[in-house]
Amino acid sequence: MLENRKLEILTLIGLFTFVVLFLVISGQAGHEFSGSDDVGSEKIAELTGKPVESFTPLIPQYKPPSGEIEATLFALQAAFGGIVVGLVIGYWLGQKKRTATT
Amino acid sequence: MHIMEGFLPWQWCALWWIIAIPFLIVGVIELKSLLRKDREYLPLLGVCGAFIFILSALKLPSVTGSCSHPTGTGLSVMCFKPYITAVIGFIVLLFQALLLAHGGLSTLGANMVSMAIGGPLAGYAVYKLLKNTRVNIFVTVFCVAAVADIVTYIITSFELALAYPAAVGGIMASFSAFFVIFAVTQIPLSIIEGLVLTLVFKYIVQLKPDLIEKLDVFSKKQIESALGTMTGVPEEKV
């Protein structure tokens, strides 16, 4: 039983360690957990000596008006992926069952 | 790993686009011929693409105190080779550039070179290296996924360093600065991504070993021995 669940257990341990690490680190001061994309942009501003605001899009782009909308769009992106994965795995399971019974 | 719209001078945008476009064209051609050959691959293609969608939407906190997201390209590059992966990556990046203001159209070329091309290529190299050795296929999958993830961020650092060399120390100094921001943050995330994708791969192999075999991801013997050791059946001696 335990033998064929090795990978699952390993993954759970990995995720658990990750969560604990996060809890420990977020308890310390000085971590904002902003996106590394934004930190990168700030670094560019620092290196060029120009403020972040002076970097204007070369091609005009849509910006989600608030964090809420952005979260919705990200959730939709993940949900779309989740639906496809569930659909296909279910399809394969059904296929396997059918060939097993006939 | 997204380079934000406007944060890359147009010359660099153009250069990365020029590098990315051939991959995209070959990818579309390969994709078309693959699907013409056999519709059976479509579900697997869907799963590989879907995982890139899911994982790149998850922005996870890291030990450095900032957040970043995994890439999920390892699975696709093993099953469908780098060119098709470039096409899937392009679709995800386009979605994020158009709707989420994560990256932009001008920097899409650069972001493709890191996430959809460079990272997967590095993962593919690892796959080629380990494929025909005695290494367990799940260990191989883990390495491929983790390497594809971390290299993506190393390339982003490199792209930014080329465009913005530091006044003191030049490209190398600014590379190490970006490396700390992007790649170091990414180390724990790539380990998690490796584990998760390996688990997913295990389920795919259990359900559809024939597909993996037909695409020549791994040989029949490798799959059987890996599944055998997992279910506790002793490995066949050859």
Q: How near does any CA of chain B get to the CA of A102, in Å?
A: 17
Q: Which two tokens stand for residue B177?
A: 């600065």
Q: Quote the ipTM score.
A: 0.84
Q: How near does any CA of chain A get to the CA of B129, in Å?
A: 23
Q: Which of A6, A35, A78 sits opposite B66 (nearest CB)?
A: A35
A36/B182 Cβ within 8 A: yes
Question: Which of A2, A26, A33, A61 should we substitute to test contact with B (largest number of B Cβ atoms within 10 Å)?
Answer: A61
Give B43's pLDDT tier (boundaries 50, 70, 90): very high
pTM of the model: 0.89
Res. B180: pLDDT tops 90: no
Q: Which of B62, B106, B178 sits opposite A59 (nearest CB)?
A: B106
* Confidence (pLDDT) at A3: 57
Q: Could you report the per-residue pLDDT of B87-122, keeping only the tens digit for each?
A: 999 999 998 898 888 888 999 999 999 999 999 999
Q: Could you report the per-residue pLDDT of B113-149, keeping only the tens digit for each?
A: 999 999 999 999 999 999 988 888 999 999 999 999 9
Percent of chain A that is helix, strand, coil (3-state, to 5): 75, 0, 25
Residues B232 and B192: their CA atoms lie apart, in Å, by 26
Q: Could you report the per-residue pLDDT of B49-97, keeping only the tens digit for each?
A: 999 999 988 888 887 778 888 999 999 999 999 999 999 999 999 988 9
Residue B2 in contact with partner chain A when CB distance is under 8 A: yes
What mean pLDDT is reported for chain B?
89
Q: What 3-state DSSP class applies to B211?
A: helix
Give B230's pLDDT tier (boundaries 50, 70, 90): low
Residues of chain B found within 8 Å of residue A39, distances taken between Cβ atoms? 66, 181
Q: Which residue blocks in chain B are alpha helix, DSSP H?
A: 10-37, 42-57, 74-99, 108-111, 119-131, 137-163, 170-179, 185-207, 209-214, 220-231
Residue A39 in contact with partner chain B when CB distance is under 8 A: yes
